[in-house]
Structure 1
Amino acid sequence: MKQDPKQGEREDIKAIRQAHKHGKHTLRELADSTAIELNRVKDLVHKYSLPLTNDYWRAEKYNNPDEVIAYQTLTRLCKRIDAPEFSIRQASMSNGIVNGYYISRVPKV
């Protein structure tokens, strides 16, 4: 009897969420702990927008691209560049500038 493709996808997502719950936060760690191919994990995470904490906030100085600030949390970045959280979030979506810094959110693999 053939397995339903949707059923297999649901089981993979369940395994990915379980591994994430147990402290596996990068795509590579998830793939290793669930025995699912890395490309399949990437596709499922993207397709279902699974909330993984595998990215960080990055601010690059407008006039000096060598000056880069990177933090895991938005709160720490807000304190460092002295800007409100909502403006940093908005700038990260539109490639905008806040207090002289280009803001972006960078995924880790």
Structure 2
Amino acid sequence: MSDESFYKHHVFFCMNVREDGRRSCGEHGAADAQKHAKKRIKQMDMNGQGKVRINQSGCLDRCEEGPCLVVYPEGVWYTYVDTEDIDDIIDSHLIGGKPVDRLKI
């Protein structure tokens, strides 16, 4: 398997906490959302090579738009409010191949 397709989907959750008082993902549930996604993907046996990888990320520089994550290789950016939004991204995009328009940024 080539490096380009090592994972079918690679998901990065911004975990940044800004020290200057500006809005940041780390202060709006990013850690809990990332843990939820990682746990759910593992429970469904969708993690690992050729499948899905859920990662933490440093600043993705879009914190002003709400907590964010990005799904590669498509490069689709999302915001979310709760674990129901994360489940929608998993079910629709990662499993079904259809991005969730209402959560895209």
Give the TM-score normalised by structure 2. 0.24
Relative contact order higher in (CA < 8 Å, ≥ 6 apart)? 2
Whichever of the two has the greater Rg, that structure is: 1
Please give the TM-score of this superposition, normalised by the length of structure 1.
0.24
- Structure with higher helix content: 1
